[in-house]
Amino acid sequence: MRVGVLTGGGDCPGLNAAIRAIVRQGVEVHGFDFVGVRDGWRGALDGGIVPLDVQAVRGILPRGGTILGSSRTNPLASEDGVQRIRRTLAENAVDVLIAIGGEDTLGVAAKLADEGIGVVGVPKTIDNDVAGTDYTFGFDTAVNIATEAIDRLHTTAESHTRTLVVEVMGRHAGWIALHSGIAGGANVILIPEQPFDVGQVCGWVENRFKIRYAPIVVVAEGAVPKAGQMVVKDSTLDEFGHVRLSGIGEWLAREISDRTGKEARTTVLGHIQRGGTPSAFDRWLATRFGLRAIDTVKERDFGTMVALRGTDIVRIPLAEAAAGTRTVDPSLYAEFGVFFG
């Protein structure tokens, strides 16, 4: 059997670990041949196929990013997108495609499965928002990076007695903000799942200053004030119809400064959260996902995605993974309620 491997959407730590596990298990245990699809769905549309063997994946376990490249290309935006992908796979004798990605990439994979194309999905995203799995790889590394940044910002905030607003990624789900904010000892955590009251945030900030303690505010990029709408710098859309987020941190810092009379600065972590060496957990999870994905191919259980449930790797329909966004459980509001606006 000949297997194609594709990484789509934003890069994240652990992608290379997953590719490595897929290829090594596939070649050494099952005797499969492999090709890589360059630059996500763009390569599937345009015939960007490269050789992929054990030699190609040696030494990539600790590397960030993806050796195959990625893009936010949406093949479903083209009328003949499915036909072009089918043609690319046929011309390169690819029997099944392993698609590693987040909700957009997996949504395309689910559509291809509906069209009769052999696809197996692997969930990755730093946002941890793919439905059907407890965790995605990339998330743990992003949280560790954000937590270290918050730790460092505490000292400079204290030195200058100012508020520091830390903007982290999270379009529709506040998992990074919640985990890094709690781990880093933030005083306010704002997430997309719950619109916040700017006046209440400023009240919390002022209370911290009363005890001579400089506050740290962690805000997810998709967080929204109650009296307003999502704040963005750039209103243009990508091919999946998403606004390119960023701007809520700067907006919030200005509001805090104007309302409290105290200086507030913003740190936007941005792509720093996605880059660099994956954590041990992300290497471990990506490897487990890769091994189970190629076993799923061996059993020809196409149209499914591997997922983590507790400590077990299970299979779920791709349609389930693409059905919606996994957001922060409301029960956590009660547990950490003091941190929310």
Is 126 annotated for ligand binding? yes
The one catalytic residue among 127, 129, 282, 295: 127
Determine whether the annotation assigns residue 10 to a binding site.
yes
Cα-only R_g, the chain: 21
Angle CA(126)–CA(220)–CA(328) in degrees, nearest 5? Answer: 70
The answer for 159, left when phi > 0, alpha when psi is -120 to 50, beta otherwise, is alpha
Decide if 310 contacts 297 (C-beta within 8 A). no
**Count of CA atoms in the C-beta half-sphere (13 A) of 300:** 3
* Residue 274 annotated as lining a ligand binding site: yes
Integer CA distances (angstroms), 66 to 5, 16, 46, 212, 303, in order: 11, 5, 19, 45, 23
Q: Is 221 annotated as a binding residue?
A: yes
Residue 162 in marked binding region: yes
Q: Is 103 assigned to a binding site?
A: yes
Give the single-character DSSP code of 31.
-
271 is in an annotated binding site: yes
Q: Is 258 a catalytic residue?
A: no
- The answer to whether the beta carbons of residues 154 and 138 sit under 8 Å apart is no
148 is an annotated ligand-binding site residue: no
Do the Cβ atoms of 259 and 243 come closer than 8 Å? no
273 in a labelled binding site: yes
> Among all chains, which residue has been given the structure tokens 């696809």?
119
Indicate the pairing of strand 49-51 with strand 33-37.
antiparallel
- Whether the Cβ atoms of residue 317 and residue 304 lie closer than 8 Å to each other: yes
Q: Which residues are annotated as a binding site for diphosphate?
A: 10
Q: Which residues are annotated as a binding site?
A: 10, 103, 125-127, 162, 169-171, 221, 265, 271-274
Catalytic residues: 127
Q: Which residues are annotated as a binding site for Mg(2+)?
A: 103
Q: Which residues are annotated as a binding site for substrate?
A: 125-127, 162, 169-171, 221, 265, 271-274
